[in-house]
Structure 1
Amino acid sequence: MRSFWSLMRAYWISERWKEAWGLTIVIALLTALSSKASVWLAEASGDLVNSIALYHDPDNTTPLASLLTSAGLLILLVLLKDAGFIGIRHLFSTTLHRKWRRWLNGRFNDALLDDNHTHFHLQHGAGAQVNGIAASPDNIDQRVQESIKGMTGGAIGLAMGIAGVVTSLFFVGQKLLELSTNVSGLEFLGDYGSAVLAFAAIAIYVPLNTLIALKLGRLLERLTVSMQQAEGSYRGELTTLFRRSFYVAASRGEGVQKAMHQRLYGDIDRNWASLNKINAGYMSFELIYNFVAARIVAYGPSLVPYMQNSISLKAYVTGAELVNSLISPCSWFIHVMPEIATLKANARRVIDLAVAIEHVQKPRDFYRLSGHSDFHYGTQNAVFGLRIQNLELMHQGTDAVPFLSATNLRFRRGEWTFVTGDSGSGKTSLIKAINGLWPYGRGHVDFPEGIKSFYAAQDVKLPNVSLKELVCLPCTRHEYSDAQVAAALHKGGLGDFIEYMGQQAREGKAWDQVLSGGQKQKLIVARILLQQPGLLFLDEAAGALDAQAKIAFHQAIKDHCPRITVISVMHEAVPPKSATGAEFYDSVLSIADSVASKKPLVVNLPAELTTILEQAQPLGRQRFPRIRLKEK
């Protein structure tokens, strides 16, 4: 779906092609019947005008009956066309719109939410461009929802308009040729003189004005794209505000936020003003065009043979109505040029998103466009645990230098490692890189084969699903029983919520609003206890808990997840201990001077034991071959 036409035909060559073509054929048949009904309406209009003109004719013995019959037939034909053919066609066209949009929306959701973490890479590709298209498209939510909806609806309307033009040219043109007569001065055309005059008037008038409409349409398209970008940015900032409204209130940042909103809405207002001017001009152009088409172009060609007394009044009115009914579909592009401009704008935004999604399917190649990216991920026997070799982390830019290096790190099975370092030293970046979520750098990471890993971050954002589903993530709620989930909630410290675990909300609020920061981190403990990963990454995952709750956090994992390997980033200078004073962690990974190094945890010894060891030192190391303790 890298181009307009490939995007347009994707649904019709997909696995749903029978559905797509079935609805399309029905719509095409109803469009043809509607065009044929236009011919019947033109003839009925001619009969009605003729019955009015001959109402007082002495030869007309039943003038009232003729008038009422003509009027009744005309009304029936209007009902047949508008309520029958066009109304039913609208039902089928909106059904096609709904199904096409659902299919296309599903394709984009599948692409964004694949195992490649495409949604993540799209958001972290800022600055990179591929063939002039930004690697990180703006307002992806707007593109997936509003742009797809507008594009599919506009495309179906455009296709029906084209079908209407073709069928009208066939049926109406056929009738014009049938009613055609010779015209003085155009005798060489024979009986096709009046039809040629009608076709010539249409061929000159419609294309000339279509060119004007196209120029105005290009302006509308550019302004529509700018308007969509401005509205998407403003809406995105509003959404962000409501997600962090507490922090805005706590910092009294309403003034700054207000200024930001005013600036963003200013972009909307400027684009809207320009768009209104062009739309006003286009509306005036269209109204004048319609008047000239209906009153001059339609009635002009047949006036010549009527003045020459070559055709009757009935034939003149019928011919004029036929020309008018032919001008209308041929002018369809003029009437919907604003919608076409919107269609093209929406299609452009959808195509840009599709191209960006395609480019990030190979993340390493994608990130190499804007920096160094040469990470290699593999597996090794689970006995050897997790291994990291020659790891260097960088920021974006081809001339970037490593801000963190790790030559050789090993984490054996069952080992708990505490990661420490100054703020901004790269602790979180290291965890992200191990999990394939850091874009720039190089190195090798070998995971233990067959071991499930789990990454718990500090900020917990909960989707709007039931509490049971929140505990089961990333698995589905069907993979664990209610009893298993309830046990995990109890062990994690959320036993009070067990009775609500089947609910999606509590007291009208989603769980993301119900649970506090500390409770969300207890929810993470419940997930870990339920799913029993073999490799656990904790990135400030207990930062919202108090000292006692942090101990309970670690103790729950220690008690219920045997042989688990833990790598934990915390703000504390020293790792927490159990309530009995026992160490949870076995080693420390320190980051200093842009280098990560790992060593066994240094144990603080009582002064008495330190004195004994110092006195025993002269006796030789051979008397204490297994002691590896020293004072911190």
Structure 2
Amino acid sequence: MRGFWGLMRAYWFSNRWPEAWALTVVIALLTALSSKAGVWFAIASGELVNSIAFFHDAANVSPLTSLLSNAGWLVLLVIIKDVGITGTRTLVSATLHRKWRGWLNGRFNDALLDANHTHFHAQNGADAGGPDNIDQRVQEAIKGMTGGAIGLAMGVLGVATSLFFVGQQLLATSTEVAGLEFLGDYGSVVLVLVAVAAYVPVSTWVAMKLGGILERLSVKMQQAEGSYRGELTTLLRRSFHVAASRGEDVQKAMHGRLYQDIDTTWGRLNRINAGYSSFELVYNFIGARIVAYGPGLIPFIHNKVDLKGYITGAELVNSLISQCSWIIKEMPAIATLRANSRRVIELAEAIENVQQPADFYRQTGHSEFSYTHQNPVFGLTIQHLELMQKGADAAPFVTTERLRFRRGEWTFLKGESGSGKTSLIKAINGLWPYGRGTIVFPEGVKTFYAAQEVKLPPVSLKELVCLPDTPDDHSDTKAAAALHRAGLGEFIEYLAEGTRDNRSWDQILSGGQKQKLIVARILLQQPGLLFLDEATAALDPEGKIAFHQAIKDNCPDVIVISVMHEAIPPRSASGEEFYHSVLAIADGVATKKPLVPTLPREITTILANPPARPVAKAPMLEDGWARITRMRLRQK
């Protein structure tokens, strides 16, 4: 689907081909029937005009009956054509539009949300040629493209069937024309074809030039609308931060700049649309009143055809011009179709390009990561790792020669803000694009990444607990037990519900409760490799201890690599260390060392503020100081 015609025909050659072709054949038959009905309409119009013209003729023995019957037949034809045939075709074509769009939407969703994290790479690599406003492309562009393509196809088919049926009738009623006697009885039909051929192509060329301008403006309008909508969506996600920082004026100015782009493009688009509408009205008038009635006027003046034949022929020519002018009538829709198809094709190309992320990112920098597996006994190994920013000349901002994390080992990752802690975790998980190195995972071990910010999709609480698995993978009992151990037992009774009081769980749960929900997922998933990227930032000290203790008690062999802002990692309530080692990033180098046990905080506080002199009446305190001194000597 990386080209226009490939995109157009993909649905008809997919596993849904019976549905696609059945609807297409029905539309084709109804279009042909509509063209034939147009011929009947022209003949009936001629009969009605003739009955009016000869109403007072002495030879007309039943003028009123003739007039009413011809008028009734014409009205019946209009109802059959416009309500029965055209209405049914509209319903069938709308059904085809819905089915085709649904299939394309499913294909793009499957491609974006694959195991390759295509949606992430497509957005993360926007500077490398990735698509903007993916949401607009998947929704509006696909919808507009499929609808426009169906309308275009029906127009082409309408031209073909009209040329056949109308041409057949014109040939049957053709007569000799004065000055064109050498053409014999084909004189009038040749005159019609010359008039149509001289009028329609020139006007079509003008329409195509205007359509090209409309296409370019439509693309720009979609980009501007997408940027504005994207910023509004971002505002809704961070509205608290905007309110807390009193940043409404800055946000307002940003919205004003984005909308100004929409307004400017819209103004230009309106001017072109107005000009095109005027052009189309003039074209329709000349075609229906001059070109249609002109060719038959010469035979009528020379008594080669009567009034009924003249009116019938003019209506047939008008029908032929109308059908051959479909490109002029539909040019705005065609321009929109081309704009939408271009944006959909760009998205398809971006999806295809990022199927090999390393090759994709090499276009804008170094991307030479290698991901392999080893026996789980050896844990996680990282070799010769260098992290870089985008750019061919970018220098590494984090390096390390060799890191090894054994099964069951907990590592505390620390460093100054901006030192690259989160980037290192992302790189291990294949979510940092630029750099080089080898990451060897323990084979057959689940990996779980818990970030600081938790965004919850609008699904049931059980689905949220079971992510990334499905609710069917875990029983209600296991999900409820995981919630209870994570400290969210009060929500167990709402396990099957997606909302409470018309609010989603993302709105109901606080930041700390969302991080407890992550604990529930960890306990349910039982990962062998766990990355905590400031995953306890919203919890109080007791909550952080409970967070770690739940994992320690229920995931005994898990490898934990954790980023926290604390200078000293948390310990259990009994004073035992959760972590075994420290991975420190300093001056761009990551080094790993065993964790040096520290004294309990209470004792550290006493040591920092010792009493001025021993108190004779407090022997227990003197014994405590003696014990502290012995502990310090033992540590040294």
Residue number in structure 1 paired with 2:381: 387
Q: Answer whether contact 2:450 2:533 (CA < 8 A) is retained.
A: yes
Residue number in structure 1 paired with 2:430: 436
Aligned pairs for 1:588-627 (under 5 A) are 588-604=582-598
Sequence identity percentage: 71
Residue number in structure 2 paired with 1:286: 280
Residue number in structure 1 paired with 2:54: 54
How far did residue 450 of structure 1 move? 1.1
**Structure 2: gaps of 5 or more residues:** 604-624
Residue number in structure 2 paired with 1:576: 570
Aligned partners of 1:116, 1:333: CA distance in 2, in Å?
42
For residues 132-161 of structure 1, give each alpha carbon's deviation from its aligned partner in whole angstroms, at most 9, with x where no partner exists. Answer: xx2x21110000000000000000000000
Aligned partners of 1:565, 1:36: CA distance in 2, in Å?
75
1:125 corresponds to which letter in structure 2?
Answer: G
Q: Does 1:164 align with 2:158?
A: yes
Q: Answer whether contact 2:126 2:132 (CA < 8 A) is retained.
A: no
Residue number in structure 2 paired with 1:25: 25
How far did residue 126 of structure 1 move? 3.0
- Aligned counterpart in structure 2 of residue 517 of structure 1, from 494, 511, 527: 511
For residues 342-369 of structure 1, give each alpha carbon's deviation from its aligned partner in whole angstroms, at most 9, with x where no partner exists. Answer: 0000000000010011000000111111
Residue number in structure 2 paired with 1:559: 553
Residue number in structure 2 paired with 1:78: 78
Residue number in structure 1 paired with 2:475: 481
1:103 corresponds to which letter in structure 2?
Answer: W
Residue number in structure 2 paired with 1:348: 342
Residue number in structure 2 paired with 1:624: none
Residue number in structure 1 paired with 2:170: 176
For residues 482-539 of structure 1, give each alpha carbon's deviation from its aligned partner in whole angstroms, at most 9, with x where no partner exists. Answer: 1111111111011111111111111111111111111100000010011111111000
Residue number in structure 2 paired with 1:202: 196
Q: Answer whether contact 2:412 2:582 (CA < 8 A) is retained.
A: yes
For residues 14-48 of structure 1, give each alpha carbon's deviation from its aligned partner in whole angstroms, at most 9, with x where no partner exists. Answer: 11111111110110000000000000000000000
- Aligned counterpart in structure 1 of residue 405 of structure 2, from 392, 399, 411: 411
For residues 553-609 of structure 1, give each alpha carbon's deviation from its aligned partner in whole angstroms, at most 9, with x where no partner exists. Answer: 101111111111111000001100111111000010011110101111011358867
Residue number in structure 2 paired with 1:503: 497
1:44 corresponds to which letter in structure 2?
Answer: A
Aligned partners of 1:608, 1:528: CA distance in 2, in Å?
43
2:15 corresponds to which letter in structure 1?
Answer: E
How far did residue 127 of structure 1 move? 2.2
2:107 corresponds to which letter in structure 1?
Answer: R
Aligned pairs for 1:143-158 (under 5 A) are 143-158=137-152
Aligned partners of 1:612, 1:214: CA distance in 2, in Å?
92
Aligned partners of 1:154, 1:423: CA distance in 2, in Å?
51
- Aligned counterpart in structure 2 of residue 219 of structure 1, from 197, 213, 222: 213
Q: TM-score, normalised by structure 1?
A: 0.96
- Aligned counterpart in structure 1 of residue 456 of structure 2, from 443, 452, 462: 462
Residue number in structure 1 paired with 2:616: none
Q: Does 1:247 align with 2:241?
A: yes
Residue number in structure 1 paired with 2:580: 586
- Aligned counterpart in structure 2 of residue 141 of structure 1, from 135, 144, 148: 135
Aligned partners of 1:343, 1:614: CA distance in 2, in Å?
77
Aligned pairs for 1:48-127 (under 5 A) are 48-127=48-127
Residue number in structure 1 paired with 2:332: 338
- Aligned counterpart in structure 2 of residue 228 of structure 1, from 222, 231, 235: 222
1:120–1:608 CA distance, 2 compared to 1 (3 A): farther
Aligned partners of 1:609, 1:569: CA distance in 2, in Å?
33
Aligned partners of 1:536, 1:146: CA distance in 2, in Å?
39
How far did residue 613 of structure 1 move? 8.7
1:613–1:240 CA distance, 2 compared to 1 (3 A): closer
SS in 2 for 1:603: coil
Aligned partners of 2:294, 2:20: CA distance in 1, in Å?
43
Q: Does 1:314 align with 2:308?
A: yes
1:403 corresponds to which letter in structure 2?
Answer: F
Q: TM-score, normalised by structure 2?
A: 0.95
Residue number in structure 1 paired with 2:447: 453
Aligned partners of 2:28, 2:545: CA distance in 1, in Å?
70
Aligned partners of 1:478, 1:610: CA distance in 2, in Å?
54
Residue number in structure 1 paired with 2:608: none
SS in 1 for 2:584: strand
Aligned partners of 2:304, 2:411: CA distance in 1, in Å?
102
Aligned partners of 1:630, 1:80: CA distance in 2, in Å?
98
How far did residue 611 of structure 1 move? 6.2
1:141 corresponds to which letter in structure 2?
Answer: D
1:321 corresponds to which letter in structure 2?
Answer: E
Q: Answer whether contact 2:296 2:314 (CA < 8 A) is retained.
A: yes
SS in 2 for 1:215: helix
2:62 corresponds to which letter in structure 1?
Answer: T
How far did residue 75 of structure 1 move? 0.9
How far did residue 283 of structure 1 move? 0.6
1:163 corresponds to which letter in structure 2?
Answer: L
For residues 52-102 of structure 1, give each alpha carbon's deviation from its aligned partner in whole angstroms, at most 9, with x where no partner exists. Answer: 111111111111111111111111111111111111111110000000000
1:560 corresponds to which letter in structure 2?
Answer: N
Residue number in structure 2 paired with 1:189: 183
1:78 corresponds to which letter in structure 2?
Answer: V
Aligned partners of 2:67, 2:374: CA distance in 1, in Å?
93
Structure 1 vs Structure 2 CA RMSD? 1.2
Residue number in structure 1 paired with 2:421: 427
Aligned partners of 1:376, 1:444: CA distance in 2, in Å?
5
Q: Answer whether contact 2:166 2:316 (CA < 8 A) is retained.
A: yes
Aligned partners of 1:198, 1:405: CA distance in 2, in Å?
80
**Structure 1: gaps of 5 or more residues:** 129-133, 616-628
Aligned partners of 1:604, 1:394: CA distance in 2, in Å?
35
Count of residues in correspondence between the two structures = 612
How far did residue 612 of structure 1 move? 5.6
SS in 2 for 1:127: helix
Aligned partners of 2:532, 2:481: CA distance in 1, in Å?
22
